[in-house]
Amino acid sequence: MLDQIHQSIDKLYSEMVEIRRYLHQYPEISFHETKTAAFIAGHYKKLGIPYETKVGGNGVIATLKGGKPGKTIALRADFDALPIQDEKDVPYRSKIDGVMHACGHDGHTATLLSLAKVMKDYQYELPGTIVFLHQHAEEYAPGGAKPIIESGAIDHVDAVFGTHLWATTPLGVLQTSKQAFMAGADRFELTIQGKGGHGAYPHETKDAIVIGSQLISQLQQIVSRRVDPLDTVVVTVGIFEAGEAFNVIADKARLVGTVRYINPTLQDKIISEMEAMIKGVCTSNDATYSFDYIKGYPPLINHASEAELLLEIARNIEDIKETQEVNPSMAGEDFAYYLLEKPGAFFFTGAQKHENPYPHHHPKFDIDERSMPIAAKTLIEAYYAYQEK
């Protein structure tokens, strides 16, 4: 049966590419994916598979109930894009100015839609129920996963599996972990209020740029001196805004950044250390400040048995040449929320395009589209294998 399903997936490859390239040309950013959601819903309407729209926001969930008893398993794909200008010179380049599928979510969607089309033909022989979970707003916290869960839409689900087409991993390689797989990802904003003045009279000012610079250096001590070296933490300041003229000392500075961590127990410690350092540096410079720490996605921690299942079923897929248990990625993923609620696992499907070796979130990002049928085969193999657990 699964060999036939694999063959059916391969036969849909050109259609899969067509769907992916259409979505690539018409991307929509997080929480604004109304046309994409309508496109997905239209696909299920044509297939005659029951679906719901506006799940937790712009989410779309389709349900294929098999002809045989079994478990209910969700397969998830996200479908939002990023506020990035597409700089690729390809026929399917984004037609929406300043918006781009720079992370492969178009490929995730094409994979799941095509798999749904294949499995509709096998519905009466199918054990259990497939939940095709199309999630909006993965790229921007609070994300789409949490409101979908809060809506009750997956309360009846026994397990959940998902993949990310990974552009820095070679085609034919599957990567996962039996424990932490991706990092917790938070955001912070800090505004420092000093006292501006003439560049020639620094003693009469409280230089917000100098104070901000001190803080950027100090914050790195959280990683190097306040956290166990065996724990992995990243504190990055990505925005530093201050000043308007070369001869004026700035009165205000704004710092925006991200914190990444693997150990869930570290989040409160990092927040406490940041607050203490910011207070100390600003107080010593007689400056005031406002600090806002926005908790984002928790670490993505796979369930060990479900991750092992992925590594085992990969042997059944001819296109997968290698499986790897890897160290956690410091990127974040709101698939983490599903794994806090249900058994399951997340994995990377190698999608590196040799002539376009750009990473995720890059203006020239692209994928090797041959990764999509590999992802589809892996998801459905995981579905069948979990039925036997």
- Catalytic residue numbers? 80, 138
Was 103 annotated as part of a binding site?
yes
Name the token pair of 88: 């690729």
- Beta carbons within 8 Å of 276's beta carbon, 6+ residues apart: none
State how far the Cα of 68 lies from the Cα of 281, in Å rounded to an integer. 65
Contact call for residues 127 and 69 (beta carbons, < 8 A): yes
**C-alpha dist (Å) from residue 58 to 38, 53, 74, 78, 136:** 9, 7, 17, 11, 6
282 is in an annotated binding site: no
Residue 105 in 3-state DSSP? Answer: helix
What number of CA atoms fall less than 13 Å from residue 373's CA on the CB side?
18
Among 223, 260, 215, residue whose Cα is nearest residue 242: 215
Backbone angles phi, psi at 363, to 5 degrees: -60, -20
Distance between CA atoms of residues 162 and 379, nearest Å: 7
> How many angstroms separate the CA atoms of 208 and 157, rounded?
52
Q: Is 360 annotated as a binding residue?
A: no
3-class state of residue 267 by DSSP = helix
- Residue 27 to residue 34: CA distance in whole angstroms: 10
Strands of the sheet containing 288-297, edge to edge, are 233-242, 252-261, 184-193, 288-297
Block residue for tokens 């389709």: 62
Coil/strand/helix, residue 314: helix
DSSP string, 192-226: EE-B-EETT-GGGSB-HHHHHHHHHHHHHHIIIII
CB-CB contact of 132 with 116 (8 Å): yes
Please check if 105 is assigned to a binding site.
yes
Annotated binding-site members = 103, 105, 139, 164, 361
Annotated binding-site positions for Mn(2+): 103, 105, 139, 164, 361
